[in-house]
């Protein structure tokens, strides 16, 4: 195993976050997921500073959109939520459709054209305005999870995966005249059993150092397929 390849165990109190110890595959500060996306920020267990930074190319191995409809490897969509079992909140960060005033964001794959790293910035809901830990039992600040949902195709097989990263909403959040009402971006909160992330993530963590997965994708002419290393992968007839 490479020296730069470390496993970080983050254990949050079951009373506070109801999240079990989670092993994250981290190399060079990047957190690898069950999908093409690689999380650059935030780091597990840290305050969420206002944006989520995602590499959506598996570190340059997947071609950027637009994709051919029949491309054997592509990202269909990435949606992101911020949820907490402490507060019962499940906020939409992006579900692929922009809402009024960008309360929830549109398709992040179409943002920052030409860049393989997408910086997901959104307006904080008004009930999270404040500074520091929760000041009362009914505060909506505190321990949360960023939930990254990826719908993608890898070498002709479609997947939907769920990747949660524990963070804390303890950073300073101010009123900016564009904070959405919390209820306007809140969704019903499903139980872990209903979500069943373990089954959804059977594909496993992908594209970390040492992972030899070859990505088959259409070349620019549409003639055949190219692997992520540029060698042609022949299609069976």
pLDDT tens, residue by residue, 145-192: 999 999 999 999 999 999 999 999 999 999 988 899 999 999 999 999
Distance CA 93, CA 83 (A): 10
The pTM is what?
0.82
Res 33 pLDDT > 70: yes
Lowest mean pLDDT among 54-63, 192-201, 217-226: 217-226
Per cent of the chain over pLDDT 70 is 79
Res 130 pLDDT > 90: yes
Burial class (CB in 10 A: 0-12, 13-18, 19+), 182: middle
What is the predicted pLDDT for the residue at 10? 32
Distance CA 160, CA 215 (A): 17
What is the predicted pLDDT for the residue at 81? 95
Distance CA 90, CA 186 (A): 5
Residues 153, 74 contacting (CB under 8 angstroms): yes
Lowest mean pLDDT among 90-94, 107-111, 127-131, 141-145: 107-111
Q: What is the dihedral of CA 102, 106, 109, 111, to 10 degrees?
A: -40
**Element (DSSP H or E) covering residue 192:** helix 192-195
What is the predicted pLDDT for the residue at 234? 31
Distance CA 216, CA 227 (A): 5
Q: What mean pLDDT do residues 85-92 have?
A: 96
What is the predicted pLDDT for the residue at 5? 38
pLDDT-derived band at 22, boundaries 50, 70, 90 = low
Q: How far is CA 87 from CA 16, 149, 150, in A?
A: 10, 21, 25
What is the predicted pLDDT for the residue at 177? 84
Lowest mean pLDDT among 48-57, 105-114, 200-209, 219-228: 219-228
Distance CA 232, CA 18 (A): 46
């Amino acid at each position: 195993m490479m020296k730069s390849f470390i496993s970080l165990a983050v254990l949050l109190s079951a009373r506070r976050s109801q999240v079990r110890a989670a092993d994250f595959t981290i190399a060079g500060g990047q957190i690898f997921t069950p999908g093409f996306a690689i999380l650059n920020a935030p780091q597990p267990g840290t305050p969420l500073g206002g944006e989520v930074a995602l590499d959506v190319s598996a570190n340059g191995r997947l071609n950027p959109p637009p994709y051919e409809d029949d491309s054997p490897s592509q990202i269909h969509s990435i949606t992101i939520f911020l949820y907490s079992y402490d507060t019962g909140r499940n906020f939409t960060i992006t579900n692929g459709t922009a809402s009024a005033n960008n309360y929830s964001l549109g398709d992040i794959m179409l943002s920052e054209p030409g860049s393989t790293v997408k910086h997901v910035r959104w307006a904080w809901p008004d009930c999270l305005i404040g500074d520091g830990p929760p000041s009362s039992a009914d505060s909506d600040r505190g321990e949360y999870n960023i939930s990254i949902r990826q719908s993608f195709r890898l070498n002709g097989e479609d997947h939907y995966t769920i990747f949660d990263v524990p963070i804390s909403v303890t950073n300073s959040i101010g009123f900016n005249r564009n904070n959405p009402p919390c209820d306007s971006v809140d969704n019903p909160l499903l139980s872990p059993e209903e979500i069943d992330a373990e089954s959804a993530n059977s594909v496993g963590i992908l594209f970390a150092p040492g992972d030899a997965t070859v990505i088959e994708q259409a070349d620019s002419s549409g003639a055949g397929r190219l692997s992520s290393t540029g060698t042609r992968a022949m299609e069976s007839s």
